[in-house]
């Protein structure tokens, strides 16, 4: 069992702030948690060192980059085939995230495409050709702030 590091309320607040905006300055974070910027920096370094913070990332609005279609694809594979399918999907540019799951569905895959034709090609030429795939279920994601036409 992995030992759990002791985190105080300030550590948890720092993590929360960074999850909302990883570009928050040390000064901004310090104001919110009542610490100096150098103390915040030391705490963030410690959180990275112990593995609480694994990486800093960017959330991208794919629609603004021309990817109008975003879907969640549930994939059911034959026993023993989910790991090779996971590995293959992980390498696909259209896939933004993929997870192995327990239950009736073995994989949950987040995919982006420029249009419905591109999505159909991806499903037909990539997902359906994966060895061991038995069932594919696609769910379209609707952005929360879609402007009416």
Note the CATH architecture for domain 62-140.
2-Layer Sandwich (3.30)
Helices (H), the chain: 9-20, 26-33, 37-49, 82-90, 116-122
Estimate the crossing angle of helix 37-49 against helix 26-33, to 10 degrees.
Answer: 100
pTM: 0.71
Give the tens place of pLDDT for each residue, 2-24.
446 789 999 999 999 999 999 99
State whether residue 108 is helix, strand or coil: strand
Low-confidence winner among 62-71, 91-100, 107-116, 128-137 (lowest mean pLDDT): 62-71
Q: Where are the domains of the chain?
A: 9-49, 62-140
Confidence of residue 1 (pLDDT cuts 50, 70, 90): very low
Low-confidence winner among 10-14, 125-129, 140-144 (lowest mean pLDDT): 140-144
Q: For residue 100, list its beta bridge partners.
A: 107
Confidence of residue 53 (pLDDT cuts 50, 70, 90): very high
The domain defined by 9-49 folds into Arc Repressor Mutant, subunit A (1.10.10)
Contact call for residues 93 and 121 (beta carbons, < 8 A): no
Tokens of 111: 């995919």
- pLDDT higher than 80, residue 148: no
Q: CB 136: neighbour CB atoms within 10 A?
A: 16
- Rounded to an integer, what distance in angstroms lies between the CA atom of residue 26 and that of residue 43? 11
Query: If you write DSSP's letter for every residue of 15-53 in order, what string do you get?
Result: HHHHHH-TT--HHHHHHHHT--HHHHHHHHHHHHHTTSS
Q: What is the mean pLDDT of residues 63-73?
A: 92
Contact call for residues 130 and 89 (beta carbons, < 8 A): yes
Confidence of residue 149 (pLDDT cuts 50, 70, 90): low
Q: Do domains 9-49 and 62-140 have the same CATH topology?
A: no
């Amino acid at each position: 069992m992995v030992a759990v590091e002791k985190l105080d309320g300030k550590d948890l607040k720092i993590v929360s702030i960074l999850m909302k905006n990883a570009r928050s300055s040390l000064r901004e974070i310090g104001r919110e948690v009542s610490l100096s910027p150098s103390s915040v920096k030391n705490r963030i370094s410690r959180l990275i060192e112990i593995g609480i913070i694994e990486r800093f990332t960017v959330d991208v609005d794919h629609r603004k980059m021309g990817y109008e279609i975003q879907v969640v694809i549930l994939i059911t594979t034959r026993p023993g085939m989910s790991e090779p399918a996971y590995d293959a999907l992980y390498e696909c540019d259209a896939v933004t995230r993929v997870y192995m799951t327990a239950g009736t569905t073995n994989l949950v895959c987040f995919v982006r495409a420029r249009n419905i034709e591109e999505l159909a090609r991806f499903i037909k030429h990539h997902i359906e050709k994966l060895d061991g795939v038995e069932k594919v279920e696609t769910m379209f994601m609707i952005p929360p702030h879609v402007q009416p036409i």
